[in-house]
Amino acid sequence: MKNNPEPSRRFTAFLNTAPRPIFVAYAILAAFCTYFCMYAFRKPFAAATFEGALFLGTQVELKTAIVISQIIGYAISKYIGIKVCSEVTPGRRAAMLIGLILWAQAALILYGMVPDNLKVVAIFLNGLPLGMVWGLVVWYLEGRRTSELLLAGLSCSYIVSSGVVKDAGRAIMEGTVAQWWKAVPVIGSPISGWMQSVSEGWMPAVTGLHFLPLFLFSVWMLHQLPRPNSQDIEARVEREPMGRAQRMEFIRRFGFGLLLLCAAYFFLTAYRDFRDNYQVELFDELGYPYQANKAIISKAETIVMFGVMGALALLNLIKNNRWGLIGTFTVMAGGTALMGVGTLLFDMKQISGFSWMTLVGLGSYLAYVPYGSVLFDRLIASTRVAGTAVFAIYLADAIGYTGSVGVQLSKDLLVGDVSRLGFFKGFTYFMAVLGVICLTSSCVYLLRREKEDAEGLAPEAIGESAAV
């Protein structure tokens, strides 16, 4: 299949011939800022605690109901994205990104307007478009010789952004951001005066409005990227939209390996989401009250970000795609093992609560991040399958966020008398053991499957990809 003609944009032409370090830096900046800003529409609500409030008089806490409602919308978005994001054409990506964010912001405004119990409906509508943003951004970065670097940069955005936007949300509620606005000519005084009274309900919408201009500019930057060139295609296979037949063939070919990956991801997503949504409460139980440690979440996540970025960037040094796939699985399994080791050290009082939260964050993200970035990109490059990594990413994501809903509910309904910290520690040990088993087994299966195809033992499975 021929490439679509390159857009006749002067800046795109410059990027197409720019030295690789310049292209990589530009692409990472554009992708990082785009997804970083998306979190300003997704996560600031988690900075609110709704302390003591229950949902409709049930045992479920109001914040838990709000968290679950958004995750349900986000999970549905992932299922929709299996089709939409794997089929979207290049010319429609930027417009779709902007449309999804404007939808999410409108839902946040509704969130601020309605009573507490109806906020679960508004936040569901907020999550419904946001799950497709990741796939649209990945489309711009996959299938390149530098994809590990680009996707590592992109992945760092959601590691650090969640903590930053929650800290921003807290600052907005406390009115400290208003002090900055006072210095802005003409518009500063009225905005700062209004923002001093921002409530928990209106805080997410106000936070989103702060980040909207940067998001729009970042999407424009992203859309200037040239498509993969002939050298990229030779090294990493041409990436194409996938129809239903191609998607079913992919599942048939790698079914058992994908099943193991999705089993680990089912719980890993729930784990990562639990830690992310309840960091304020977890740090409080660990003896780090937010009022005295206002930047502690951002501090922990920044350390995690640099650790993950370094590990994934090193994978770019591996040029052989088979060994690159092995290296990716090694990083992921090592991450889940780190979660267990870190928790054991904390229980033995060898490390502090902050160090423990940072270690389990690093371990979970080392396992979690490759699912949405380098894992499936390397799998496609290694096996020479025609298609896009976005499909496999969204297949795993849909299953993963379904697991997140189940774990959130089980905490309040089945073990409601257990503290969030106690539940989280037990979940960490479970995740460490399950992750190592599933990831190691999946790696062995996929490598064996690739070897069979390469030796011609399964010619019927090669199909169209053999011609690539």
SS (H, E, C) 218-236: HHHHHHCCCCCCHHHHHHH
The pair phi, psi for residue 437, each rounded to 5°, is -65, -50
SS (H, E, C) the chain: CCCCCCCCCHHHHHHHHCCHHHHHHHHHHHHHHHHHHHHHHHCHHHHCCCCCCECCCCCCEHHHHHHHHHHHHHHHHHHHHHHHHHHCCHHHHHHHHHHHHHHHHHHHHHHHHCCHHHHHHHHHHHHHHHCCHHHHHHHHHCCCCCHHHHHHHHHHHHHHHHHHHHHHHHHHHHCHHHHHHCCCCCCHHHHHHHHCCCCCCCHHHHHHHHHHHHHHHHHHHHHCCCCCCHHHHHHHCCECCCCHHHHHHHHHHHHHHHHHHHHHHHHHHHHHHHHHHCHHHHHHHCCCCHHHCCCHHHHHHHHHHHHHHHHHHHHCCCCCHHHHHHHHHHHHHHHHHHHHHHHHHHHCCCCCHHHHHHHHHHHHHHHHHHHHCHHHHHHHHHHCCCECHHHHHHHHHHHHHHHHHHHHHHHHHCCCCCCHHHHHHHHHHHHHHHHHHHHHHHHHHHHHHHHHHHCCCCHHHHHHHHHC
Distance CA 278, CA 217 (A): 31
Burial of 287 (0-12, 13-18, 19+ CB in 10 A): exposed
pLDDT attached to residue 408: 65
Distance CA 222, CA 261 (A): 30
Distance CA 207, CA 41 (A): 7
CB 388 within 8 A of CB 142: yes
pLDDT attached to residue 94: 93
Distance CA 137, CA 85 (A): 10
pLDDT attached to residue 292: 66
Residue among 167, 112, 198 at smallest CA distance from 280: 167
- 48: how many CB neighbours lie within 10 A of its CB? 21
Six token digits for residue 439: 């990831």
CB 12 within 8 A of CB 226: yes
- Could you identify the residue written with the tokens 């979940």? 427
The pair phi, psi for residue 114, each rounded to 5°, is -90, 160
* CA torsion, ordered 409, 332, 309, 398, to nearest 10 deg: -40
pLDDT attached to residue 326: 92
**Domain locations in the chain?**
10-226+236-467
The torsion region of residue 418 among left (phi > 0), alpha (psi -120 to 50) and beta comes to beta
CATH homologous superfamily of 10-226+236-467 equals MFS general substrate transporter like domains (1.20.1250.20)
Sign of CA dihedral 282, 285, 286, 288: positive
The pair phi, psi for residue 54, each rounded to 5°, is -110, 150
pLDDT attached to residue 110: 94
Q: What is the pLDDT along the chain (468 residues), one digit of tens a residue?
A: 344 444 447 888 888 888 888 999 999 999 999 999 999 999 888 777 777 677 777 777 788 888 888 888 988 998 898 888 888 888 889 999 999 999 999 999 999 899 888 989 999 999 999 989 988 998 888 878 887 788 878 877 877 787 778 777 777 877 665 554 454 444 444 445 555 567 778 888 988 988 999 999 999 999 999 888 777 777 766 667 777 787 888 888 888 888 999 899 889 988 988 888 788 788 888 888 766 666 787 788 888 888 888 888 888 788 888 898 899 999 999 999 999 999 999 999 999 989 999 999 999 999 988 887 788 878 887 777 766 777 778 888 888 777 777 776 676 666 667 788 888 999 999 999 999 999 999 999 988 887 766 665 444 433 333 332
